[in-house]
């Protein structure tokens, strides 16, 4: 776990950049997660003070949204769509395959810290189900074999 003291200046900069924006809490949280990969629990106090909110309010917002995370992700984040269209095209088999191959369940990170696995409900790629994303890249018509190839490509690129 990284020391928050080294992250604090980044958080304060992001807070400062959004000071006058109406409804700024979500943009601030996105800014922090985009930069650090997650929202450190220790940042909650700084965010709360800056926005004149209670820590509970800030924590309540972070925990409400599926996208925000409070622990560092693996090097790559894989999101597998669990929605109906992907289910209609063997998405469940792909889910099991991914969990087994990575040796982790949803919301977990592999022991080598290479991959985090998250469920997602629709990537808007329903015409080519089943779909996954690896970081920001969408992949369609993903079979277990194609999943293994994509994983190997990620590892090759480390």
Partner 1 sequence: MSRVFISRDSTALSLGAEKVAATLQQLSDTKGLKIEIVRNGSRGLFWLEPLIEVETDQGRVAYGPVQAEDVASLLETGLLEGKQHPLYLGNIEELPYFKNQNRLTFARVGLTDPVNIDDYIAHDGYRGLKNALALQPADIVKHVTDSGLRGRGGAAFPTGIKWNTVLNAPAEQKYIVCNADEGDSGTFSDRMIMEGDPFVLIEGMTIAGLAVGATQGYIYLRVEYPHAKVALNQAIAAAYKNGYLGENIQGSGKTFHLEVRSGAGAYICGEETSLLESLEGKRGLVRFKPPLPAIVGLFGKPTVVNNVISLASIPVILDKGGEYYKNYGMGRSRGTLPLQLAGNIKHPGLFEAAFGMTLREILYAYGGGSASGRPIRAVQVGGPLGAYLHEGQFDTPLDYEAFAAISAVLGHGGIVVHDDSVNMADMARYAMEFCVEESCGKCTPCRIGSTRGVEVIDRIVDGTQKDKNTVLLRDLCDTMMYGSLCAMGGMTPYPVLSSLNHFPEDFGLPAAKA
The residues binding partner 1 (CB under 8 A) are 22-27, 29-30, 51, 60-61, 64-68, 81, 83-89, 120-129, 131, 133, 136-141
Q: Which is nearer to partner 1, 111 or 149 (CB)?
A: 149
Q: Which is nearer to partner 1, 3 or 57 (CB)?
A: 57
| CA atoms of 143 and 3, how far apart (whole Å) | 40
The Cα angle at residue 97 between residues 96 and 103, in degrees rounded to 5: 85
In the bound complex, what is the minimum distance in angstroms from residue 3's beta carbon to partner 1?
A: 26
Q: Which is nearer to partner 1, 78 or 89 (CB)?
A: 89
Q: Which is nearer to partner 1, 32 or 104 (CB)?
A: 32
Q: What is the DSSP string of 54-112?
A: -HHHHHHHHHHSTT--SS---SEEEEEE-SHHHHTTTHHHHHHHHHHHHT--TTEE-TT
In the bound complex, what is the minimum distance in angstroms from residue 148's beta carbon to partner 1?
A: 17
Q: What is the DSSP string of 20-51?
A: T-TT-HHHHHHHHHHHHSS--TTHHHHHHHHH
Q: Which is nearer to partner 1, 31 or 112 (CB)?
A: 31
| CA atoms of 32 and 79, how far apart (whole Å) | 20
In the bound complex, what is the minimum distance in angstroms from residue 96's beta carbon to partner 1?
A: 14
| CA atoms of 138 and 124, how far apart (whole Å) | 10
């Amino acid at each position: 776990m990284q020391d928050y003291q080294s992250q604090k200046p980044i958080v304060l900069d992001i807070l400062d950049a959004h000071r006058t924006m109406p409804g700024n809490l979500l943009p601030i949280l996105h800014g922090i997660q985009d930069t650090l990969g997650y929202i450190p629990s220790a940042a909650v106090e700084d965010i709360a003070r800056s926005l004149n909110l209670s820590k509970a309010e800030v924590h309540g917002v972070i925990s409400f949204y599926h996208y925000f995370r409070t622990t560092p992700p693996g090097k790559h984040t894989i999101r597998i769509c669990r929605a109906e269209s992907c289910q209609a095209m063997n998405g469940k088999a792909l889910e099991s395959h991914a969990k087994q191959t990575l040796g982790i369940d949803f919301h977990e990170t592999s022991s080598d810290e290479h991959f985090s696995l998250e469920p997602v409900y629709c990537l808007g790629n329903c015409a080519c189900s089943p779909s996954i994303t690896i970081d920001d890249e969408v992949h369609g018509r993903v079979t277990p074999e194609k999943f293994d190839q994509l994983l190997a490509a990620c590892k090759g690129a480390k």
